[in-house]
Structure 1
């Protein structure tokens, strides 16, 4: 554990001043040699010498505490965290070391408990340290937030990570990520949006933050903002997967901008980022249809119908040819729609067919088709009006 090696090197720098005056000369010399071994990463030999020294200092509280502290650093540096915890706790139990040394050990203990991991014990050690510390650093607040996040105690974790962020001289991405994940867990989407706005500003090249921000706005029913953010992401080339591009298309459709939705689909199909599948061609054709672009709608819905052979697509085409008054095409497509099946309202196909038959002068056939449309609630009234009109016209 590199942080404990670093802490031990700091201990070596302070060794001569802090300990020489309070240890016996013999213990001091032996401990100095042990520290030199640890400084050279010779922990096995250092632990062996500590074992030899321990029986000689048991009756001297201060010397015993110092030896146990050294054990703690040796064990921690060799990833023997449970032994390190035991050693540090032994040193603390004596209450013989200076307050600042004991305070540092409590923080070390919290780190060791986190490494096991034993988050509850880590939280306890951390709170003991925090209560006695005058000016906790940004990193220490972030560490506390991590502990409580692991315990799912977000009400304790969120203020700590916010404090860490406020104390830091520059933005730390992993801290923002931690805060964001906890706000998601608590479903605090308005706060999550604010955090993501900062993340997009600090790390504009991270495409996932743009997509997340758009998603949060959508959850908050701020659909225009959601679309605006997704538009910016698209312009920067961040929407590469079909799923993301179709999300943008659907946003445009939701906001009543079908022409732009269709243009994006068309361009991305040409680029190969959106598949020319039957399903996608159908959506493209329907977008053109909503945009009143009849020729484009016909082109893409016909392509979709060739792939899917779905009744609803033939019916869409019949509706478009009705607008163009190409009645023979309407009759052909209405028949195809009825033959393919799967229509939620077959009466619509019979109604269009009846209108086309009437326009081509086949009035009796038109009445027969309208009579079938009478059987369906959604087309009953209109079909009845057509039948009445034709009979009145004949009389």
Structure 2
């Protein structure tokens, strides 16, 4: 898509719907009476056949693909412009404008159409349509103040109700100028007009309306617009966006229901959306579903087999009380992480599963690798593993290291006392059995 079309589409218009004065009315054999009949405020001079035939010839050359010859034909007409009346000159520039527009030579098209409205004795309908075209072309040329200025001129002579396209174009220009209040008022009017007439607001109008409410930090209004967009256009990205906005306004149940409905419809496919779904599951107390989504996405190659994702799956399984299933993912995360943080988590899980030898190994690995946020936790895990293995001296040594950290000082002291008592009890029992 070229620059012109992409900008016009963003403005709510396509090149096919650009409101340019119709060249169809200029071809030989078409009555011009209707043009003159619309002129009610001033007398419009006649468009003589001789001039018209020359303009029509230029048009045909351009339409047949010989733009250079078409412009040369217009240049020939222009050389005799001093003998032409205002209406004839206006029509000549009108033809220039069309050719330049079709060649995507926007500045030259704008200049030509400005020459059209500079002539006084032209039909009001031509004056209005040309001003509107200039506003649209200014939008395509990224001259946003020009859009507003041309629409203001159009307003001064227009006597009919403004069409919704007028408000959309004005809104887009104000949006690009960061004048969000004016832009929002205009797009709201366009949407309201369409709905009043029983028409469906165009999708890109609602996209603009949503963007403006978001820029103005009105999340509840963003939610309202997205709900409408889903009802009218039902696109995957709108479901995901609505879910996110429900979370922003504190409607967590609606957030979960929306993203889950999107998932069931097959709308959640990208790694960012799948991870977001898993996080919503976690937030809403559904860790097993979170782990399942991430595990499947990883197996399908959608999300990476990396430390971040493996740690997420592992922690989700722990929260779901599926400690055994977490082990493989903690092991992978540990192997992918330079620090010992996940070795430490693995040690803690292994202790819960009463796999004390493996827990002791993991705790030692965590301490060897270092880089721990809370080194004392690894010493506590090692001390507990060694205690359960009845390695009392090693257990006491580990807890003495944990005692050096303020975070675990009291806990370590309690364990040291307990382990010493258990050691004494074991030794006493042993002596009694001799």
* CA apart distance, 1:18: 4.5
Counterpart of 1:44 in structure 2 is 71
Q: 1:370 aligns with which of 390, 396, 399?
A: 399
- Please give the per-residue CA displacement for 1:142-187, whole angstroms capped at 9, x wherever unaligned: 2222222232222222222222223332331222222223333333
Counterpart of 2:135 in structure 1 is 110
Instruction: Report which of the two has the higher share of helix.
Output: 1
How far apart, in 1, do the equivalents of 2:72 and 2:218 lie?
54
Counterpart of 1:16 in structure 2 is 33
Contact kept, 8 Å, 1:180 with 1:196, in 2: the verdict is: yes
Q: 1:379 aligns with which of 408, 413, 418?
A: 408
Counterpart of 2:4 in structure 1 is none
Counterpart of 1:60 in structure 2 is none
CA 1:252–1:28 in 2, change beyond 3 Å: closer, same or farther? Answer: same
Contact kept, 8 Å, 2:383 with 2:396, in 1: the verdict is: yes
1:144 paired to 2:170: yes
CA 1:41–1:330 in 2, change beyond 3 Å: closer, same or farther? Answer: same
Q: 1:83 aligns with which of 111, 118, 133?
A: 111
180-189 or 230-239, larger mean C-alpha shift: 180-189
For structure 2, the residue ranges without an aligned partner over 5 or more in a row are 1-14, 63-69, 101-107, 426-434
Counterpart of 2:307 in structure 1 is 278
- 3-state SS of 2:48 partner: helix
How far apart, in 1, do the equivalents of 2:370 and 2:208 lie?
52
How far apart, in 2, do the equivalents of 1:323 and 1:201 lie?
49
How far apart, in 2, do the equivalents of 1:115 and 1:379 lie?
66
CA 1:198–1:349 in 2, change beyond 3 Å: closer, same or farther? Answer: same
CA 1:11–1:110 in 2, change beyond 3 Å: closer, same or farther? Answer: farther
Counterpart of 1:71 in structure 2 is 92
Equivalent positions of 1:341-360 (< 5 A) are: 341-360=370-389
CA 1:72–1:108 in 2, change beyond 3 Å: closer, same or farther? Answer: farther
CA 1:387–1:41 in 2, change beyond 3 Å: closer, same or farther? Answer: same
How far apart, in 1, do the equivalents of 2:126 and 2:302 lie?
61
- Please give the per-residue CA displacement for 1:36-75, whole angstroms capped at 9, x wherever unaligned: 4366355536624642553234xxxxx42x1232133112
Counterpart of 2:431 in structure 1 is none
1:7 paired to 2:34: no
* CA apart distance, 1:134: 2.1
How far apart, in 1, do the equivalents of 2:180 and 2:276 lie?
31
How far apart, in 2, do the equivalents of 1:23 and 1:167 lie?
34
344-353 or 160-169, larger mean C-alpha shift: 160-169
1:314 paired to 2:343: yes
217-226 or 8-17, larger mean C-alpha shift: 8-17
Matched positions, count: 384
Report which structure shows greater RCO (CA 8 Å, sep ≥6). Answer: 2
CA 1:171–1:320 in 2, change beyond 3 Å: closer, same or farther? Answer: same
How far apart, in 1, do the equivalents of 2:384 and 2:142 lie?
75
How far apart, in 1, do the equivalents of 2:55 and 2:221 lie?
49
How far apart, in 2, do the equivalents of 1:282 and 1:110 lie?
55
Counterpart of 1:55 in structure 2 is 82
How far apart, in 2, do the equivalents of 1:192 and 1:236 lie?
23
* CA apart distance, 1:216: 2.5
Q: Give me the TM-score of the superposition, normalised by structure 2.
A: 0.78
* CA apart distance, 1:292: 0.9
Q: Give me the TM-score of the superposition, normalised by structure 1.
A: 0.85
For structure 1, the residue ranges without an aligned partner over 5 or more in a row are 58-62
